[in-house]
Amino acid sequence: MGKKKKGSTDTSNGSGSNGNTGTSSSGDNGTTAIPTAAAASTDITSYSKFDFVPGDKIIVQEDFSQDAVGDFPAQWNTRSGAEVVTVSNRPGKWLSMKQDGSFYPEYINANFPDNFTLQMDVMATDGIASIAELTIGLLQAKDADARFDMGRAESSSSRMANFKLGLCPKSSGDGQIYYSSNLIGSQNKSDLPEFNVPRKNFVTVSIWRQKQRVRVYLDSNKTLDLPRALDAGAMMNALVFNAYAPDFDKEGGAFFVSNIRLAVGAPDTRNKLITEGKFTTHGILFDVNSDKIQAGSYGSLQDIANVLKENASVRVKIIGHTDADGDDKLNLDLSKGRADAVKEALTRTFGIDAARMETDGKGKTQPIDNNTTPAGKANNRRVEFIKL
């Protein structure tokens, strides 16, 4: 990377809502105060250029829901310090990183396929240092020492597969990213309004690997599209976060991360719906306990709409599903409402004739995974399309 100076009922089906927020340092109760207003919902049409489609099967869904506020996550490792906190005006729990160090989930240790997607929500306080950087590293690492070594922003290797994205939300006053891989070396890009403290403290990061190609999105903006970032068969088996100098200026600087979702496989909407007669997506996301579709769902909705437009005689039933958390009837009603919302979006935004679509909801009654882990619950929260 760059040279540094020393120094309930059903939970949200996907990552959090997008919006602008500021933060201050954490209080004794583990809640981080947010001085700005609650995040406003983003209209789906604002993501009309967002072509990101998440992987077919969710293998990691990390929202820190199983960890106590004030503790370091039980299934993560570090040689520094960080803690789980709650954040005002943002749902769920977050990992707060105020110290220099590397942090990684130990349960991610098997090779990913060469087609996968990674999404997460990232925040920074208003007091984040101008030299601060949060590096997201996708690596091939044989052990803990390799993860700590390779996870550092300045560490590089031409021998082991790696892709790193460094977020510098206060650098040069306009926001900046550094990015690197074992093939392309270190590069940078400036003037990024999507994550530019204090004007915008929150961003959803989406990374999509397809063999050699790597695409990076900040909110709806396709920030990078690298056709030869990695060798086609290069395997990765680690996700490492590295915080550099978040509180260098001693003004309460901290990075936060949550709603980490790793999904594998290439969605094959056309073949599954038209040939096999059924297609399931985890890429249509909803606000917590709501049938309001999140703007980040645009790519998945567009993918489905394109198949329906190309096959004008096909009719489908849209079925909503939830996990098992909360009241059975509320989940059943919610699943039906979400199916109706998908139908409305396909009609209103993409011009699909409403007469071609029926809707239903099954609540928690047809799980496809366990309801005891965040990843299992995330797989159960889905929208199904059945060819009629």
Same domain, yes or no, for 283 and 247? no
Q: What is the mean pLDDT of residues 233-249?
A: 94
Report yes or no on 222 lying in a domain. yes
The predicted structure's pLDDT at residue 4: 41
Whether 140 and 284 map to the same domain: the answer is no
What is the pLDDT of the chain when averaged over all its residues?
A: 88
Radius of gyration in angstroms for the set of CA atoms belonging to the chain, rounded to a whole number: 20
Same domain, 286 and 260: no
pLDDT for 369-388, tens place per residue?
A: 999 999 999 999 999 999 99
Say yes or no to pLDDT of 41 above 70: no
Within a domain: 21: no
* Listed residue (144, 182, 190, 135) closest to 163, CA to CA: 182
Statement to judge: residues 252 and 155 lie in one domain: yes
Instruction: Let me know whether 49 and 109 are in one domain.
Output: yes
pLDDT score for 152: 79
- State the residue range of the domain holding 306: 269-387
Average pLDDT over residues 22-48: 55
| Residue where one domain finishes, among candidates 199, 234, 264 | 264
Pair 273, 237 in one domain: no
Mean pLDDT of the region 268-295: 91
CATH number reported for the structural domain that contains residue 227 in this entry: 2.60.120.200
Q: Which of 128-132, 177-181, 262-266, 340-344 has the lowest mean pLDDT?
A: 262-266
pLDDT of residue 158: 62
Cβ–Cβ contacts within 10 Å for residue 117, how many? 24
What CATH number does residue 369 fall under? 3.30.1330.60
- Is residue 10 scored above 50 in pLDDT? no
Task: Give me the mean pLDDT over the 120-146 stretch.
Answer: 95
Q: Is residue 2 part of a domain?
A: no
Residue 156 has pLDDT above 80, yes or no: no
Do 186 and 67 share a structural domain? yes
Give the pLDDT mean for 235-240: 95
Query: Span 227-252, mean pLDDT?
Result: 94
Question: Considering the domain boundaries, does residue 24 fall inside one?
Answer: no
Residue 25's pLDDT is 39
The answer on 304 and 210 residing in a single domain is no
Q: Residue 159's pLDDT is what?
A: 73
Of the residues 264, 294, 317, which one is the last residue of a structural domain?
A: 264
- Is the pLDDT assigned to residue 207 strictly greater than 70? yes
**What is the per-residue pLDDT for 43?**
74
- What pLDDT was estimated at residue 33? 57
Same domain assignment for residues 260 and 300: no
For residue 134, the model assigns a pLDDT of: 97
Answer yes or no: is 9 within a domain.
no
Residue at 12 is within a domain: no
Choice between 13 and 344, residue whose per-residue pLDDT is larger: 344
Q: How many domains, the chain?
A: 2
Confidence of residue 49 (pLDDT cuts 50, 70, 90): confident
Give mean pLDDT, residues 292-303. 94
**Quick one: 255 and 279 in the same domain?**
no
Among 217, 234, 264, where does a domain finish? 264
If pLDDT is split at 50, 70 and 90, which confidence band does 72 have?
A: very high
- Within-domain flag for 332: yes
For residue 365, what pLDDT band results from cuts at 50, 70 and 90? very high
Distances in Å between the alpha carbon of 272 and those of 79, 102, 277, 385? 45, 40, 6, 10
* pLDDT in the model for residue 288: 85
Does 254 share its domain with 274?
no
Residue 18 confidence (pLDDT): 35
User: Which has the minimum average pLDDT: 46-55, 120-129, 273-282, 377-386?
Assistant: 46-55
pLDDT (mean) for 1-7: 41
Q: Exposure of 184 by Cβ count < 10 A (0-12 exposed, 13-18 middle, 19+ buried)?
A: middle
Q: Domain for residue 40, yes or no? A: yes
Q: How many CB atoms lie within 10 A of CB 170?
A: 23
CB-based contacts of 33, cutoff 8 Å, min separation 6 = 23, 24, 27, 88
pLDDT of residue 31: 67
pLDDT(91) > 80: yes
Residue 75's pLDDT is: 97
How would residue 269 be classed by pLDDT, with cut points 50, 70 and 90? confident
Split at pLDDT 50, 70, 90, the class of 67 is very high
Given a cut of 50, whether residue 15 has pLDDT beyond it is no
pTM of the model: 0.86
Give the residue-averaged pLDDT of 42-52: 82
Q: Are 244 and 133 in contact (CB under 8 A)?
A: yes
Same domain for 374 and 241, yes or no, is no
Task: Determine what percent of the chain is predicted with pLDDT higher than 70.
Answer: 88
pLDDT at 369: 95
Mean pLDDT over 13-37 rounds to: 42
Asked if pLDDT for residue 215 goes beyond 60, the answer is yes
Average pLDDT over residues 88-99: 93
